[in-house]
Structure 1
Amino acid sequence: MSKQLAVIGTGVIGNGWIARALAQGWDVIAYDPDPQAPTRTRAFVTNAWPSLEKLGLAEGADPARLTFVDSLEQAVKEADLIQENVPERIDIKRETLAAIDAAAAPSAIIGSSTSGFKPTELQTDCHNHPGRVMVAHPFNPVYLLPLVELVGGEATQSDHIDCAHALYQALAMRPLVVKREIEGHIADRLMEALWREALHLVNDGVATTEEIDAAVVYGCGLRWSLMGTFLTFHLAGGEQGMRHMLEQFGPALKLPWTKLEAPELTDDLIDKVVEGCEHQAAGRPVSELDRRRDAFLVELLDLAQKYWPEAEGLEGRI
């Protein structure tokens, strides 16, 4: 029997969930109060589908298995998994999640795509089954990138996480269980640190947006796509590994190389960043850049799958 995903809110992330679920042969029920949402979503899926075909479709995969309904209650009533993607405001998320909790089947798992809020905050107004409400934070493009961070709150029990883990694996994702709730979870905190430092480099006239992106694309980014941060530095220590690396380079951590606080977003800095990105885009629309990115990711994922460790049975490991 096929699984059913309910998607509440169909922006970039919500549409990414829709495309992924359709590609995995799931039925998808979507709700968004914007009357233009169905048109935008179907165009999004059409744009993403060629990349999904190259990556490999599951049996039964079909964009026609998407249905839009007129109410949140209709969308969630028979879903196995419900993904909330409303704007990143705690009041809107709490209200939406409470409505989902009231209308969904008791066995359904409810995931929030929030990039920052803690699950205990999200569970506050859910009075039926708050423990099944958790953070399920993906990464754009959701239909290609496999990571989803699963974070439970105070009401969450291990069986809720286990059930969610299985459902997201059924969507061909690699769930990462975050042991303790914290604002921003894991990956966004790491990306935020790099983002803040990049803004300082632009603000201080050290480099352009294009030069900073080149530093990542042709340098550290290539290594990170296979080994991440710690294993990359482990290799930097030679045969003695991380211990030697920390002995040799650890003292440099005390040097004032980086500025972790974000710079003030002045009009001048905003203009530099915007103009730099527009120069890099070279007049190409975002949809074209999306397709270029997706084509690259499909080939990169195909290569990475040959080298990534298997995650089966390894709690929290990718």
Structure 2
Amino acid sequence: MTADANTRDIAIIGAGLIGTAWTALFAHHGFRVRLWDPHAAALDKAVGQIPGLLAQLAQIAEAKGGAEWITRCDRLHDAVAGAALIQENAPEDIPLKHALLAEIEEAMAVEAIIASSTSALTWSELAPGLRDPARLITAHPFNPPHLIPLVELFGADDARLDRAEAIYRAADRMPVRLRKDATGHIANRLASALWREAVFMVQEGIADVEAIDAALVNGPGLRWSVLGAHMAYHLGGGAQGMAGYLAHLGPSQERRWAALGAPVLSPEVCAALIEGVETAAGGAALPSWSRTAMRR
């Protein structure tokens, strides 16, 4: 079985939160999307949620497609056959994913791409589920993937990575490639490092949850949204850039690194974190608060 290299057929495997968002995103950008999940109830829920996601996307950019570009599939084979990209969104369970990937491989076009949305697992852990591991890439989105552009890619076949990158760019995503397989990919490693220190500051009583989040949002978060970590320090080095920063302020940076902590999620720390976010949310229920936060 083959698929045209320029086909705009996408298979979405798994109709949970991530799979539903991928479905809306690709349909909005004019891809023909076939959605499958082993549970009919999950498909029903996804179909009900997709119009709202498409409406969000329509506020951002003109639609090239819509709900009519989405086909609900009751059989895995019907979703996968002939698709150029197969976006897998199954639970983070290695035996389950291995079994699913083997089933996908039986039905997929020879040159198609299986792209796993995994956030917790690595390519090296998933690849043994396939006869030809080169067919697999990891393509980790940031949640919600229909709104946040980042997609982190890793795989063994450069040609497939090139084709996957072109598809994601056509869906207005920003793909970045890892040069080495790594737990947490890029962004989750950075986010985990930041949150580790944020939790440590709560544990040590340096500041409360609300103050820590306010410092981030109103300080370095503003820089990072346009510059990133390395470029922010390059800019901070003045006319000499990064070289000037490292020469003059490198020792102070090392001093700060040495003071960073390794918190323990003890019952006391967990209680402080839960109380802190509830206070910061001002008593608002999580769904309404999250909608407010997305509008900011």
Q: Structure 1 counterpart of 2:24, which letter? A: A
Q: Are residues 28 and 294 of structure 1, via their aligned partners in 2, closer, same or farther at CA, if it must alter by over 3 Å?
A: farther
Deviation at 1:2, TM superposition (A): 6.5
- Report what 1:230 is aligned to: 230
What's the offset of the Cα at 1:191?
0.8
Instruction: Name the Cα RMSD after superposition.
Output: 2.0
Tell me the residue number matched to 1:249: 249
2:11 match:
6
Indicate how the Cα distance of structure 1 residues 288 and 19 shifts in structure 2: closer, same or farther if over 3 A, else same.
Answer: farther
TM-score scaled by length of structure 2:
0.90
8 Å Cα contact 1:102-1:126 kept in structure 2: no
Listed one character per residue, the Cα deviations across residues 256-315 of structure 1 (whole Å, up to 9, x for unaligned) are 2212x3x2222222222222222333344444344334434xxxxxxxxxxxxxxxxxxx
- Select 1:145's aligned residue among 148, 155, 159: 148
Q: Which residue of 2 aligns with 1:314?
A: none
With structure 1 as the length reference, what TM-score do the two structures score? 0.84
Give the structure 1 partner of residue 3 of structure 2: none
**Aligned partner (choices 113, 133, 138) of residue 135 of structure 1:** 138
CA distance in 1, matches of 2:211, 2:75: 47
Match in the other structure for 2:181: 181
Letter in 2 for 1:64: E
| Other structure's SS at 1:124 match | helix
- The code of the aligned residue for 1:98 comes to A
The match for 2:260 among 258, 261, 264 is: 258
The amino acid of 1:5's aligned partner reads: I
AA of the residue aligned to 2:148: L
Deviation at 1:30, TM superposition (A): 1.6
Q: Distance in 2 between matches of 1:186 and 1:23?
A: 27
Residue identity in the other structure for 1:54: Q
2: CA distance between counterparts of 1:293 and 1:39? 27
For the Cα contact (< 8 Å) 2:54–2:66, is it kept in 1?
A: no
Residue identity in the other structure for 2:101: L
* Aligned equivalents of 2:289, 2:185: Cα separation in 1: 28
Q: Secondary structure of 2:181's match?
A: coil
| Percent identity for Structure 1 against Structure 2 | 38
Alignment map for 1:98-113 (pairs within 5 Å): 98-113=102-117
Superposition map of 1:60-209 within 5 A:
61-127=65-131, 129-152=132-155, 156-209=156-209
Residue 313 of structure 1 corresponds to none
> CA distance change for structure 1 residues 267 and 246 in 2, over 3 Å: closer, same or farther?
same
Q: CA deviation at 1:94?
A: 2.0
**2:62 aligned with 1:57:** yes
Cα contact 2:151–2:174 (8 A) shared by 1: yes
Match of 2:25 in 1: 20
> How far is 1:192 from its partner?
0.9
Amino acid at match of 1:30: L
Instruction: Give the C-alpha shift of residue 244 in structure 1.
Output: 1.4
* Structure 1 residue ranges without an equivalent (≥5): 297-318
Q: Note closer, same or farther for the CA distance 1:294–1:45 as it changes in structure 2 (3 Å cut).
A: farther
Take 2:247 and 2:197, find their aligned partners in 1: how far apart are those partners? Answer: 25
CA displacement, residues 165-224 of structure 1 (integer Å, 9 cap, x when unaligned):
112112211211212212222111111100111111122222222222111111111110
Alpha-carbon distance between aligned partners in 2 of 1:75 and 1:99, rounded to the nearest angstrom: 12
The structural deviation recorded for 1:138 is 0.7
The aligned amino acid for 2:135 is R
Hey, what's the Cα distance between the residues in 2 that align with 1:58 and 1:47? 14
Equivalent residue, structure 1, for 2:38: 33
CA distance in 1, matches of 2:90, 2:207: 35
Is the Cα–Cα contact under 8 Å of residues 7 and 84 in structure 2 kept in the other structure?
no
Q: Find the residue that maps to 2:10 and give its secondary structure.
A: strand
Deviation string 1:103-161 (CA, Å, 9 cap, x unpaired) is 2111221101112322132111211x421201101111100111111101xxx222111
Specify whether residues 211 and 150 from structure 1 end up closer, same or farther in structure 2 by C-alpha distance, changes over 3 A only: same
Contact 1:122 1:134 in 2 (8 A): no
Shift in alpha-carbon separation, 1:290–1:34, aligned structure 2, 3 A: farther
